């Protein structure tokens, strides 16, 4: 009896071990603090050196690179930037974890990231508050704040070049939210750093910010971008083809600047982007469609709707669809391009490609039966024709994991 029980226990243990072995393992990647960057003034808001995480490629991916730029909004005033300088969004000193998990497009498991799992994969930490566009020589004498985002981008790319990126055959620059905007604004610069014959393309995730009006009728997000450009001295680092014909702050809007990006580009977004609809609780911006304001929602009737779009009432869905109309109006106003692709979902979310659940999994959003991972890879490797994927409203099954 005891022998039978022991054998059954061993069999169960072996089965559990086999099942666990089949599950993708969590990948932790150490941080690299780029101390040498301080010599060229490429520093975070608080003057600390910039940082990134690198998991080196191997095999067929040895000469291929994917750079993911973190998001995290912007700071448009001295007080905003002071606040950020005490966190990982403005400093690399005692605020950033020594390791981060690589998932989604950064995962090293071919079952989750079939086309890029063995590439050199990099996550760039965001600590400047300007989407890597700022460059002010003088340091604020009172706050000791540095506005050097453009220098950080250049320093990190140069360091990666020394580590092998200068011989890349394939390369992708990508990012989410403010990191996606950094991708758009730095895409052509990124391509210029790589060999002429390299396949270089850019992918912007959750970064198609629209110039929506506030309740008062004012363009608050445009005013925010104007303050960012002024405070950080960003104008000289924005695409000249855009700033030569319009106010520099307007070049922060993808609708205005994407037509001037020469490098092949892929856009991933939701036309019900949760950040743009509700903002986040720390934002001073309250757009026309914001559902987060106490003024708009004193009774918190949007609480369940904000947690998942399937919980929204008919009226709430109508308001959200109204925002979707405004988004698509801006998005579809882009000039056509045969080198550009896009994957537009109707998921109530903000940021997809660094989440395995969205990038490539049984619950991933699908448009024309393709996941985001499949659509991006087909476009990047020219495995199919012109890629345009817009998911109709709603997509309840494919957005089961949507979050606010």
Is 115 an annotated catalytic residue? no
Q: Are 352 and 376 in contact (CB under 8 A)?
A: no
Q: Looking at 85, 91, 92, 177, which residue is catalytic?
A: 177
pLDDT tens series, the chain, 404 aa = 555 545 544 544 444 344 334 566 889 999 999 999 999 999 999 999 999 999 999 999 999 999 999 999 999 999 999 999 999 999 998 788 999 999 999 999 999 999 999 999 999 999 999 999 999 999 988 999 999 999 999 999 999 999 999 999 999 999 999 999 999 999 999 999 999 999 999 999 999 999 876 545 556 788 899 999 999 999 999 999 999 999 999 999 999 999 999 999 999 998 888 777 765 323 344 333 333 444 445 566 666 776 666 777 887 777 777 788 888 899 988 988 889 999 988 887 787 788 898 899 888 888 888 889 999 999 999 997 656 777 666 554 556 544 43
Q: Looking at 53, 107, 232, 350, which residue is catalytic?
A: 350
Neighbours of 292 (CB within 10 A): 20
Q: Are 132 and 152 in contact (CB under 8 A)?
A: yes
All structural domains of the chain with their residue ranges:
25-390
Is 350 an annotated catalytic residue? yes
* CATH, range 25-390: 3.40.50
Tell me how far the alpha carbon of residue 254 is from its chain's centroid: 14
Measured distance CA(207)–CA(254) in Å, rounded: 8
Beta pairing, strands 120-124 & 64-69: parallel
Give 370-379's long-range contacts (Cβ < 8 A, gap of 24+).
Answer: 370/343, 372/268, 372/343, 373/105, 373/113, 373/114, 373/115, 375/341, 375/343, 376/105, 376/203, 376/266, 376/268, 376/341, 376/343, 377/114, 377/115, 377/116, 379/201, 379/266, 379/341
Is 304 an annotated catalytic residue? no
């Amino acid at each position: 009896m005891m022998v039978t029980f022991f054998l059954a226990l061993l069999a169960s243990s072996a089965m559990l071990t086999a099942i666990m072995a089949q599950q993708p393992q969590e990948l932790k990647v150490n941080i690299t603090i780029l101390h040498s960057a301080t010599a060229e003034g490429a520093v975070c808001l608080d003057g600390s050196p910039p940082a990134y995480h690198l998991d080196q490629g191997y095999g067929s991916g040895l000469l291929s690179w994917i750079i993911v730029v973190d998001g995290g909004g912007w700071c448009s005033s001295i007080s905003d930037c002071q606040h950020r300088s005490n966190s990982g969004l403005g400093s690399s000193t005692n605020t950033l974890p020594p390791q981060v998990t690589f998932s989604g497009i950064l995962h090293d498991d071919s079952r989750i990231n079939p086309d890029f799992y063995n590439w050199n994969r990099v996550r760039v930490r965001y600590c400047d508050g300007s989407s890597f566009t700022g460059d002010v020589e003088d340091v604020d004498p009172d706050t000791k704040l540095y506005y050097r985002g453009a220098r950080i981008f250049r320093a990190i790319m140069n360091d990666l070049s020394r580590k092998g990126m200068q011989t890349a055959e394939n390369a992708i620059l990508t990012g989410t939210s403010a990191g996606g905007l950094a991708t758009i604004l730095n895409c052509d610069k990124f391509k210029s750093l790589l060999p002429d014959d390299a396949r270089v393309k850019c992918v912007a995730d959750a970064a198609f910010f629209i110039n929506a009006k506030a309740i008062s009728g004012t363009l608050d997000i445009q005013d925010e971008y104007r303050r960012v450009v002024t405070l950080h001295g960003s104008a000289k680092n924005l695409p000249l083809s855009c700033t030569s014909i319009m106010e520099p702050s307007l070049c922060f809007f993808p609708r205005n600047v994407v037509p001037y990006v020469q490098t092949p580009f892929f856009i991933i977004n939701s036309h019900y982007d949760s950040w743009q609809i509700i903002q986040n609780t720390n934002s001073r911006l309250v757009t026309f469609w914001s559902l987060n304001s106490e003024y708009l929602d004193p009774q918190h009737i949007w609480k369940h709707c904000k947690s998942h779009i399937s919980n929204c009432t008919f009226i709430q869905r109508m308001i959200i669809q109204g925002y979707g109309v405004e988004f698509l109006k801006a998005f579809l106003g882009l000039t056509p391009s045969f080198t550009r692709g896009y994957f537009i979902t109707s998921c109530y979310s903000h940021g997809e490609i660094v989440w395995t659940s969205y990038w490539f999994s049984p619950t991933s959003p699908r448009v024309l039966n393709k996941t985001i991972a499949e659509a991006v890879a087909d476009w990047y490797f020219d495995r199919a024709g012109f890629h345009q994927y817009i998911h109709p409203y709603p997509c309840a099954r494919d957005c089961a994991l949507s979050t606010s």
